[in-house]
Amino acid sequence: MNDAENLITDVLVRHEPLNGGDSCDCGWWWDQAEGRNHPEHVAAEIVKALGGLTRAWAAVLPDDSYFGPYHEAYEIRRNEARQQAEADVAEYEDSALKSRWVSGWSEVQP
């Protein structure tokens, strides 16, 4: 397995559901006010372990070169990444709008 697969596996092992999914090995308990169920809790823990995930958008050409990418969390015009990439698609013939998930920085454990 690669490093990302190992990391996700470690998170899944640490977050085994207990009591039919009302609680977790990590100490998490379902809270009606919070409304989040166990799968949502585990998904949030995976995203956190990966350093946070945001979506990046780009106008991609047939040869896989691209304009951008525009990151939802890091652009000057925050949360307008898709619109910026769509403008590039409109401008450049043969380009297609595509997105990917991008991880943030995370601390490496020695």
- pLDDT one-digit tens code per residue, 58-90: 999 999 998 878 887 765 666 788 999 999 999
87 occurs within a structural domain: yes
84 occurs within a structural domain: yes
110 occurs within a structural domain: no
**What mean pLDDT is predicted for residues 18-32?**
84
Q: Which range marks the domain in which residue 34 is found? A: 3-49
**19 and 45 together in one domain:** yes
The total of structural domains in the chain comes to 2
**73 and 97 together in one domain:** yes
What's the predicted TM-score (pTM) here? 0.73
Enter the tokens of residue 68: 């951008």
109 occurs within a structural domain: no
**61 and 40 together in one domain:** no
pLDDT at 32: 62
